[in-house]
Amino acid sequence: MDGIQELRGKYLEQIAGAASAEALEAVRLAALGKKGEISLMMRELGKMTPEERKTAGPAMNGLKDEIDAALRARKAALEDAALDERLKAEWLDVTLPARHRRRGTIHPVSQVIEECTTIFADMGFRVAEGPQIETDWYNFDALNIAPEHPARQEHDTFFMHRAPGDNRPPHVLRTHTSPVQIRAMQDQGAPIRVIAPGRVYRMDMDLTHTPMFHQIEGMAIDRDISMANLKWVLEEFFTAYFGTKVKTRFRASHFPFTEPSAEVDIQCSWVNGQLRVGEGDGWLEVLGSGMMHPKVLQAGGIDPDQWQGFAFGMGIDRMAMLKYGIPDLRAFFESDLRWLRHYGFGALEIPTIHAG
C-alpha cells in the first residue's frame, strides 16, 4: 500500500506541474501507458493470492481512476488556458460590414426573354403559353405546312415514339412556338395581340443552332391590321431592345403560314470584328414575318373575311448573342459560370422579376 500512496503523490504532483499538452501526455504514458508504472503494477495482481487481491485490487483500481481523472481535468484546464490566450491575441470587430459576396444572376436567355416580354407588353401584347409536346396538327397542319414539307420529316423534327397499336395522332417536340398562336386564337378569338416565348426543338447542331433553343413569336389580329403596323412594331421593339434607333429592311420571302411573307433585316456595321446595330451601311437578317395566311386564321377559328393580322418570329438565343456579343450559341448550354461572367453575367445589376 505504501507503493500505491507513493505513486499517487508522485503523479498527482507531476500532473499539476505539467505546463503543456505535450508534458501532460508524457506523464500519462509514464503512469498509464502500456509500460507505465501503474499499468505494470496492475499486472502484478495475477501473481497475488486471492486474499491479497481483495485488498490490493480496489486500491490499484482506485489509483488508476484517480490519476486518469486528474489527467482529464488538467487537460481541460490547459485547453481553457490556451483558448484564453488565443482570445487575447485574436479579435473580431463585429461592427465591420460583411465581406462582399457575388450576387447570382439569371441566365442571359432568361434575361432576354424578360426584356422582350417587357417591351412587347408596353405595346399591348400579352404572353401566351402552350405545351412543348404537340400534335402534328397544331405544329404543322394548322399552320398550312404541307405533308411533303421537309420539316415534317424525321431528319428535321423529333417525333414521339409510338408503341405498336397506338393509333393516336402523331406527336412531336414543337419545332416553333407558332402552335401557341393557334391555341390562343381558339381560346380568345379576335381581336388579339400575343407573344409566345418558349423552348423549341429541331435536329440542328452547329455554331448558330442547337437541338433545343428558344423562340419568341408574336401576332396581332384586328380588322385593319397591315404590314405597316408590323414594321412599326418591329422597329419600336429593336430600338427599345438595342437602346438605339434601328432601321429595318423587309425582303420578300415565303413561309407557309404567312402571305405575303418577309425576312426582316436590321441596320448594322462591323467595326474591328464587333457588330454595331443601328449604324452603318450593312444589314443583318434577324427574323421572319408576314401577314397571316387565311388558312391559319381559319384553323384558329377566326373568319379571314372579317379579320386579318400579322405574325413574326425570332430566335431568343440569337437575340442574346447579338446584344451581348456572344459568338457561339452552343456556349449557352455547354459552358460554366466563368464563361457567363466573361460576358457580363457574373452579377445581377438590373432589376428583374427574378431579383430586385
Long-range residue pairs from 26-33, CB within 8 A, at least 24 positions apart, any chain: 27/71, 28/71, 31/7, 31/67, 31/71, 32/64, 32/67, 32/68, 32/71
Residues 6 or more apart from 216 whose CB is under 8 A from it?
A: 113, 116, 177, 195, 196, 197, 198, 313, 314, 316
Amino acid at site 18: A
Neighbours of 288 (CB within 10 A): 19
DSSP string spanning 107-173? -HHHHHHHHHHHHHHHTT-EE----SEEEHHHHTGGGT--TT-GGGSTTTS-BPP--TT--SPPEEE
8 A C-beta contact, residue 343 and residue 104: no
8 A C-beta contact, residue 248 and residue 231: yes
pLDDT given for residue 66 in this prediction: 87
Cell of 32: 498509464
pLDDT given for residue 344 in this prediction: 56
pTM for the structure as a whole:
0.64
H/E stretch holding 195 reads strand 192-201
Distance CA 93, CA 174 (A): 58
Cell of 11: 503523479
Q: Quick one: 255 exposed, middle or buried, by C-beta within 10 A (0-12, 13-18, 19+)?
A: buried
What is the DSSP pairing of strand 126-127 with strand 192-201? parallel
pLDDT given for residue 206 in this prediction: 62
- What Å distances lie between residue 237 and 27, 40, 244, 260, CA to CA? 83, 92, 10, 21
Spans in the chain with pLDDT lower than 70: 1-2, 102-105, 205-209, 327-356
pLDDT given for residue 62 in this prediction: 85
Distance CA 88, CA 151 (A): 76
DSSP 20: S
Distance CA 337, CA 207 (A): 20
Distance CA 215, CA 146 (A): 22
Residues 6 or more apart from 341 whose CB is under 8 A from it?
A: none
Using the structure block, give the residue that is written with the C-alpha cell 456572344: 326
Neighbours of 318 (CB within 10 A): 20
Q: 315, 267, 318, 259: which is closest to 289 by C-alpha?
A: 259
pLDDT given for residue 355 in this prediction: 41
Q: 147, 175, 148: which is closest to 159 by C-alpha?
A: 175
